[in-house]
Chain A
Amino acid sequence: MRTRVEVVARRGPGGRTVLPVVRGSGQLAVRRTGPSAVHLVATAFGPLGGDDAEIRLVVEEGAVLAVRSVAAAVALPARDGDRPSVQRVLAEVAGELDLRMEPTVVARGAHHRAGLTAELAAGAVLTATEQVLLGRTGEEPGRWTGTTRVVADGRPLVHTTVGLGPGAPAWLPPVAPRAYASTVHVGQAAGVLTAGDAVRLPLDTGWVATAWGAELHTVVRAVEAVA
């Protein structure tokens, strides 16, 4: 199934953010839940292997946008073949974007590909989180591939692809975690910070924090501790 979401945030009269475009189709509906906030609502199970979702977010200069989802997404295998499910977030930010969706759970036999591509203008602020759990309770892990590319003022700030789960070439014992969380922030600089299975790395005017482990709730706490 093809899913398309588009949200545009614009600075309106008096400096308040208005959302002239709020559009969802396919498996995601978009609900305005605040003056500058939207929630994505899944309208179907899934995603299933072969599903393709594209989420376009535009935050113009002086505008603020918060994007949330209402529940975890459970990526399920394709009914036929082994095609991955795909979700691309394409963000153009001159204002401030805060993107924090609920976790993605990748069921056994499924492969989910998540992408975030953000083009930031000078002075833009971005916070984007990713939370992943491989396999539901008592289930074998699925596979997840996540790519983050942030370009600030025309210069690539960070571009990384993390592959998790059986079949991902670098997901090898003894470090083959089921849970993973990552936050990328541009706006306020921070230096290196390390913890048990967590690390924060500096970017020009920002940072990226990553944590991994066996349980999602401890991994989320770990990434928040170094964020």
Chain B
Amino acid sequence: MTASLLTLADSRLPAGGHTHSGGVEQAIAAGLVRDPASLAAFLLRRLVTSGAVAAGLAAAACRGRNLPVLDAEADARTPSPALRAASRQQGRGLVRVGRRAWPSPLWDALPAAPHHPVALGVAAAAGGLTPRDAAAAAAYLSVSGPATAAQRLLAMDPLTVAAVTARLAPEIDAVAEDCLSRADGELSADTDPLLDLLAEVHATRGDRFFAS
């Protein structure tokens, strides 16, 4: 591991992730997230579905697999238009800061406005990181941003929310490990229809704080 991984997973990296709640805003509106226990359950279901998919894509992109092909696979694993838009927005944001932070010809192989995990894998490779690092960053980011969003929306105790996220460390590691131990080229496609529904209901609201 190098310090690049810490930078990549840092919420202060200005890639635009702070404007997204990962479905937490709508989960709160639907009464599914109310307190630390229900937040932990929500983060876990997000981690093992979209987090696992993101980890697999990021590791594969870091490994140098064909990026437009991976981007199309990301689309197929993200049928919700709201979630696709959120992923591509964050991908574009990461490319903008990543190109400056870790200049490399690798960026040129990305399609325009790539899915975030694909851009994340390229950022990891450009920063000299391994596919395992890329997977870990993707898995971690799938819960860290939503946890912060819940803290803000519910005015939760920051120490409690930090502890909820920290206690997911074994599950985050397991997700990152799992995508490396899969058979050659097989990418997770785990999905949670609940997250699709929440994202699409959220997209129609006029009173939202977060973009997704």
Contact A210 B76 (CB under 8 A): no
- Pair count A-B, CB < 8 A: 74
Per-residue CB contact flags for chain A residues 116-152 toward chain B (1 = under 8 Å, else 0) read 0000000000000000000000000000000101000
The B interface is mostly helix, strand or loop, or mixed, namely helix
Partner of A156, one of B38, B73, B80: B73
In the complex, A166 has a CB within 8 A of chain B: no
- Determine whether A192 belongs to the interface, using a CB cutoff of 8 Å to chain B: yes
| Complex: A135 Cα to B7 Cα, angstroms | 47
If the complex has contacts A156-B76, A160-B77, A203-B79, are A170 and B190 also in contact, measured as CB distance less than 8 A? yes
* Given contact pairs A172-B45, A173-B41, A197-B197, A161 touches B189 in the complex (Cβ within 8 A): yes
Residues of A within 8 A of B75 (CB): 156
Q: How many residues of B contact A (CB 8 A)?
A: 27
- Asked if A110 is at the interface of the complex by the 8 Å CB criterion, the answer is no
In whole Å, how far is B193's beta carbon from the nearest beta carbon of chain A?
4
Smallest CB separation, A218 vs chain B (Å): 16
Interface residues contributed by chain A, number (CB under 8 Å):
29
Decide: B191 and A169 in contact? CB cutoff 8 A: no
**Residue A46, interface by CB 8 Å:** no
Asked if B200 is at the interface of the complex by the 8 Å CB criterion, the answer is yes
CB < 8 Å neighbour of B200 from A149, A159, A197, A199? A199
Tell me, yes or no, whether B48 is within 8 Å of chain A by CB: yes
Answer whether A169 and B48 are a contact pair too, CB < 8 Å, given A160-B77, A201-B79.
yes
- As a 0/1 sequence over residues 175 to 219 of chain A, the CB contacts with chain B under 8 angstroms (1 = contact) are 100000010000000001010011101110000101010000000
13 new A-B contacts, CB < 8 A, other than A156-B72, A194-B201, are A155-B72, A156-B75, A159-B73, A159-B77, A162-B191, A163-B190, A175-B32, A175-B194, A197-B197, A201-B196, A208-B79, A210-B193, A210-B196
**Sampled A-B contacts (27; CB under 8 Å):** A149-B189, A156-B72, A156-B73, A156-B75, A157-B76, A158-B79, A159-B73, A159-B77, A160-B77, A160-B191, A161-B188, A161-B189, A161-B190, A162-B192, A162-B193, A169-B44, A169-B190, A170-B192, A172-B44, A175-B194, A194-B201, A194-B204, A197-B197, A198-B197, A201-B81, A202-B79, A212-B194
The 6 tightest CB contacts between A and B, nearest first, are A156-B76, A169-B48, A159-B76, A160-B191, A199-B197, A170-B45
